[in-house]
Structure formats: structure tokens, C-alpha cells
Amino acid sequence: MDASTWVAKRPEPTALARLFDYKPFLIAVCLFPAVGLLMAFLTYPLGLGVYLAFTDTQIGGNGKWVGLENFIDLMEDPIFLQSVWWTFVYTAIATVGKFALGLWLALLLNDNIPFKSAIRAIILLPYIVPTVLSAIAWWWIYDPQFSIISYVVVDQLGLRDRYYDFLGEPWPARWSLIVANIWRGIPFVAITLLAGLQTISPSLYEAAMLDGASGWQRFRRITAPLLMPILAIVMTFSVLFTFTDFQLVYAITRGGPINSTHLMATLAFQRGIPAGQLGEGAAIAVAMIPFLVFATLFSYYALGNRKWQQGSDND
């Protein structure tokens, strides 16, 4: 045979090569590690918690299926009902405070101000410090005997003749927790919104100023619409983090005084672990799920409705 007409024959692919060329198998192989981790550390604990909510399981015992009995009992529990009310109030006030102050800081840092980089680093400090350490610091600030606020007001300025008791009464303790939560959450809101502000073209503001738009008009017509996707994300995460807050509340008040500062998360822990009622604690935790799902869906649909940004219908 002439060498010019000779063509090398391609060897037949092996069974393993054909298997990896099969797209569904390749997709399954790539997703298996992630799916395995999710099943082990997310799906199983969540499923177990939902199952325990419908049982009367206690620590050290197996328990039996009781259906909706735990939830019916909770509807008649004044401490649980108070924790639900306080969780919503706490979430609403703290989220609005974090959002307002965080947006103000983001707008401030977006301008050309002296030492802007140093200020950004300082603002991040509350978010960098571990929650338990910052909670202990706030606990010392609120302590009735060693509070720095009481020391300055009473011992240095002489404006009062007795120390403040921030954590001894229900409403002072509640407002103290809100202040601590706002302080810790401001950096997340401010830095995230600042990143969004820096994606807005300065030419838009220059054109608006040439048209005689005021500062409020520029914010309402340019800043707010273009920030809306990020605003939706930040608002959703802020609500979720605040609604499920545990470390800050438990480290400062442990739900006291007289259970007045219990959030649903802290009450679920107290009933499930120290009190040993795993079924009841799981039921309280499961009762939080509908609200968390609602907040997530709200963010999803808010992000999907962006006709003003896409320049076309978004049906």
C-alpha cells in the first residue's frame, strides 16, 4: 500500500472513557461531593429537627410521635408567645436602625473625605470581632456595678446619684440588646452598600446636577433605583441574621429578666438543651422556618423585578 494513502486508525475508546464522555454521568460525579456535604451537614440535621418537632423526645430518651401536640401547647404558652412578639419587634427595630445608619455611612464613605481608607477599616471592626467577645464587652458596658456609662455619668459628671440598671428591667434590657445588635450589624450593611454605590457611574450624578437636581432628587432618582438589587439582598440577610440572632442575646441576658428578652432562637435552645425537652425546642425552631422562607422569597422576587434596570419588560 502506498504510504501517501495510509491513514492511522484511531483506537477504540475504553469503557471508562466512554463513561466519562457521557454527560449525565459527568454531571453526577461533579455534583456528588457538594450534594454529599449538603446532605451530611444541612439536610440531615434539618430533617432530624423537623422530625423531633413532632415527637416528645427528651435528652436521654427516644420519645414517641405526638403529631401537632408540641405546636398546640406552644400556642398556649405565654413565654413562647412573648418570644414570638419580641422576635418580630427586635428584628424590625434593629433592621431599620442598621439599614439607616449603614446607608448613611456608605453614602458618607462614597464621597471624597480625609482618611477614608482608615475609616473603612475602623467601621469593619465590630463585624470582625467574634460575636461572643463583643457580647461580653457589651455585657460589661451594661453591668449595673462596673458599667463605664454609669461611671462617667455618676462618678465623673455627677448627673445621677445611682448607677443605671440596663439589664434589670424588661424594656431597658430589650433596648440594650437592640443597640448592641445595631452596632454589630452596621459594618455589613455599610460595606455592602458602599460596594454597590461605587458601581454607579459618576456621569449620572454630573448630568443630574447640570439639570439642577437637588441631593434628595439625585438619591431618589439615581442612587435608590440602581441600588435596589443590592438593597434587597442586604435587607434580606439583615432580617435573617437578626431574626435568628442567638449569641448576642444569650451572652448578654440569657433571655432575662423574667424571660422578657427571649428570642425564638434562644428559647428553642433553652427548652431543648438546658431543659432537656428536645421535641419542644425543635418545635420552636421549626416555627421559625415559615418566616425565614418568606424573607428569602421576598428577596428573590424583588431581585427578579428589575424592569427599570433591564430596559425592557420583565414578565
pLDDT tens digit sequence for 186-210: 999 998 998 888 888 888 888 888 8
Fold observed for domain 69-305: MetI-like fold (1.10.3720)
Inform me whether the pLDDT recorded for 20 exceeds 90. no
pTM of the predicted structure, to 2 decimals: 0.83
pLDDT for position 6: 58
Task: Provide DSSP, the chain.
Answer: --GGG--PPPPPPPHHHHHHHSHHHHHHHHHHHHHHHHIIIIIHHHHHHHHHHTB---TTS---B-TTHHHHHHHT-HHHHHHHHHHHHHHHHHHHHHHHHHHHHHHHHHS--TTHHHHHHHHHHHHHS-HHHHHHHHHHHH-TTT-HHHIIIIIIS---SS---TTTSHHHHHHHHHHHHHHHHHHHHHHHHHHHHTTS-HHHHHHHHHTT--HHHHIIIIIHHHHHHHHHHHHHHHHHHHHT--HHHHHHTTT-STTTT--HHHHHHHHHTTS--HHHHHHHHHHTHHHHHHHHHHHHHHHH--HHHHSS---
118-122, 128-132, 300-304: which range is least confident on average?
300-304
